[in-house]
Each structure stands twice: as structure tokens, then as C-alpha cells.
Amino acid sequence: MRFVASDGVVRLADALASQFDLFAPREVDGKLVLARLSEAVGDRPPPAWNAFRLPDSLKPLWFQSGKILSRWTRDGPVPGPVPRPRAVFGAKACDLRALAILDRVLREHDFKEPAWCAAREQNFIVAGDCSDAAPSCFCTMFGEQPWPRDGYDLSLSPVDGGFILVAGSERGQEVLEAALPDAPPPTRAQTAERDEIRAALQERIIAQNEQYATHDPFETSIEKQLRTRIWGRLAATCVECNACNIVCPTCHCFLLFDRAEGAGAVRFSQWDSCFHAGYARMAGGGTPRLQLVERFKNHYFHKFVSFPRNWGMTACTGCGRCIDACMGRIDKRACLRRLETEWMPSEVLADVE
Ligand code: SF4
Ligand code: SF4
């Protein structure tokens, strides 16, 4: 554990830019976005401090829609360019949890997505405490906290005059030693300050979500409501725009397409959305989820019931991006609370009474 002043973070960014394709929060038109920093060392804006998660998730860094997965000619497969490993600044605890969820699907079980596996083994993550929260943040409703616990190489915690820097991997320790060999350990007062900032923000996030507090596991409420009419009320303003899937750091459904290119062809992936009418369509043209309300329900069932059963973790981090992006002003926290509190047995659909 070290203490670094702000110029130390610039040195760290320089060191990473010499080894990685470096991405960091950067202000564009008054908004923070995840941007590729200039290659020119010394001529690069330092990473901006993002007080809470960015509107964009980290998912597109390693799981792009439209990514070319293979190339072919009549003579067989053609190796594609080997991408430069990427490093990213500004990952928050919810971002790290989202990467762990994607790892569960794409890396840790029978099916291993080669490009994801390669990228995750080579990437470098500089995480950071949240020092503020968006009104839509609700990580604490999952028992999480607004600072990183694991899944990072280095982590920054803001304190007066700079940051406490912690290595979370051997590679992180090596980069830290090489880039900032003289950085001193933090004082007790500095670690106490960090802990106070963390605890105060955690309390604030809990307080801002009190109105959505639930007591039963989300899984229980959703299963209880599976055959009731509440879903029509929850989905009443949904316009099927798919924004919630696109911004979600954990949604990972994709389609594969081939297209002719030059003398051969390429195969590429494209993100799918479970809100699309064609999402569950089968070869004969039929679909079990013809109605939007069924697809809306499936989205909740998947994230909070079937994914935890199949993969051992909830497929939601409480990042709140879907709340900010929803054109229908549908708030996932409010829906989860309504699923627990609006239980009306008289509304159970007749076919199961
Ligand atoms: S469902 Fe919403 S709150 Fe949950 S991880 Fe996805 S975008 Fe974030
Ligand atoms: S973002 Fe909102 S309106 Fe769009 S598909 Fe999702 S729930 Fe429906």
C-alpha cells in the first residue's frame, strides 16, 4: 500500500501507456466518457477521476458488438490481427463485479469464448473507490460496497492531497514498483480518512435506497409473482428500446453473422436483446414470448432467478445504468420492491387457479 500525489497517477498512466492500449475517463462536452488516451507520453491528458461508475460500462472494451471473430478464404481460416492488450483506469466495484459475472459465462465453464479469455488474461485494471454516487446507484441492495474488494491489478482511494494505491495482483505490484518506486506507505491518518470516506458513502447509498428496501430475496418475490398480472403494470411504459440491455454491464447475449469481405468472408458477433420480439424465436417461426410483457418478465427472471441458479451469482450489480437509460422511466429498484409488496392473489391468472 502506497500514498501517491496526483502527479504520481500521471506517472502511472505513462508507465501503463507504454505497455497497453490505455483507456480512462476523460471529459468530452462536459461529460465523462471512457476514452482512449493519446499514445504520446507527456502529451496525454491524465485520467480524470470518475467519482462513480461511468455511463458506459467496461463491457465494450473486451466484448464489442460487431467484433470480427474469424476470417476465411477458400483456402481456409486467415489469422486476424492480434489486438494490443488493454488497460483501463476508473473501474468501480460494480464494474469489477460485472466482469466477474461475464467471466462466469465466457471463461469459467464448458464454453470458453477465446477472444474474451485472451483479453481478460492480458488486460490490466486500475480500479478506484467511488467518492460520490449517482441517484440511481443501488449496489448496497446486493450487499455490495462502493469500493473494490478484488478483481483489480491496482486500486486508487482518494484522500487529501492524493491517493492511497493498493496492488491487487502480482502484475499490479510490479507496475507499482516500477512506476512509483519512491512512493511512501500511507500514514495511519490517511488510511483512517479513506475508511471514513468509504463508510460515509456506503451509508449515503443505503439511505438513498431506503424507499426501495425489500426483505425477501428477489428470487422469492419474482417466483411468487410469475403468474400474476403485475408484470403488465411494471412494463406499462416499456417501449422495447433495448437500452437497458445495451448499457447493462452484465448482459451478454449475442448473435453470429457471416458476411462476404474481399475474396473471403468474416464471422462477426452482434449484441442481442431479450426485449426484441425475435429474441426467443425458433426455427419454425414460433416464440414462447410473443408479448412484450412476457419478455419483460423474462428479463427479471433471468437476472434474479435463473442466472443465480445456473451460475451462482445474481446477474445485476446495482449499477443503475438501466435506470438512467430507460425511455419509459422504469426503475429496476422500484420494480423489485413492487414485486415484493404488490402481492394480490386475486390477480393470479385463471389458468393456474
Ligand atoms: S440490470 Fe441495470 S442495475 Fe443491474 S447491472 Fe444491468 S444496468 Fe446495472
Ligand atoms: S430501457 Fe426501459 S423502455 Fe427500453 S426496453 Fe428496457 S425497460 Fe423497456
- Is there a single domain that holds both residue 288 and residue 154? no
**Ligand 1 atom showing the smallest separation from residue 319 Cα:** 8
One domain for residues 207 and 306 = no
Residue nearest to atom 3 of ligand 2 (CA): 238
- Provide the pLDDT for residue 134: 97
Q: Which atom of ligand 2 is nearest to the CA of 241?
A: 4
**In terms of domains, do 286 and 222 share one?**
yes
Distance from C-alpha of 257 to C-alpha of 5, rounded to nearest angstrom? 49
Rounded to the nearest angstrom, the distance between the alpha carbon of 347 and the centre of ligand 1 is 28
Same domain flag for 151 and 289: no
* Range of the structural domain that residue 327 is part of: 218-352
Ligand nearest to the CA of 100: 1
Report the atom number in ligand 2 closest to the C-alpha of 242: 5
Say if residue 298 is in the same domain as residue 258. yes
Centre a 10 Å sphere on the Cβ of residue 132 and count the other Cβ atoms it contains: 11
Picking from 211, 227, 247, the residue at the C-terminal end of a domain is: 211
* Gap from CA of 296 to ligand 2 centroid (Å): 9
Spacing, Cα 237 to ligand 2 middle (Å): 8
User: Same structural domain for residues 63 and 196?
Assistant: yes
How many Å lie between the centroid of ligand 2 and the Cα of residue 241? 5
Instruction: Tell me the CA–centroid distance for residue 321 and ligand 1, in Å.
Output: 6
Looking at the fold, whether 173 and 278 belong to one and the same domain comes out as no
Say if residue 173 is in the same domain as residue 240: no
Distance 17 CA to ligand 1 centre (A): 30
* Successive 10-residue mean pLDDT values, the chain, 353 residues: 91 90 89 79 75 94 90 90 90 97 92 89 95 97 95 96 96 95 95 97 97 95 93 95 96 94 92 92 89 95 96 95 97 97 76 46
Residues 139 and 260 in one domain: no
Measured by CA distance, the residue closest to atom 8 of ligand 2 is: 238
Same domain, 272 and 123: no
Q: What is the pLDDT of residue 38?
A: 63
The pLDDT assigned to 311 comes to: 92
Query: Of 211, 235, 268, which one is at a domain's C-terminal end?
Result: 211
pLDDT value, residue 351: 54
- Pocket probe for ligand 2: among 231, 237, 244, the residue whose CB has the most ligand atoms within 8 Å is 244
Say whether both 242 and 161 belong to one domain: no
Q: What per-residue confidence (pLDDT) applies to 39?
A: 58
pLDDT at 343: 81
Note every long-range contact of 176-183, with CB atoms under 8 Å and residues 24 or more positions apart, other chains counting. Answer: 176/2, 176/12, 178/15, 179/11, 179/12, 179/14, 179/15, 179/16, 180/2, 180/4, 180/8, 180/11, 180/12, 183/2, 183/3, 183/4, 183/8
Domain count, the chain: 2
- For β-strands 68-73 and 76-78, DSSP reports them as antiparallel
Q: Is the CB of 275 under 6 A from ligand 2?
A: yes
Enumerate residues lining ligand 1, CB below 6 A.
247-250, 303, 316-322, 332
Structural domain ending residue among the three candidates 174, 194, 211: 211
The pLDDT, as a whole number, for residue 207 is 97
Question: Is there a single domain that holds both residue 193 and residue 317?
Answer: no
3-state SS assignment for residue 200: helix
Q: What pLDDT sits at residue 325?
A: 97
315 C-alpha to ligand 2 centroid (Å)? 17
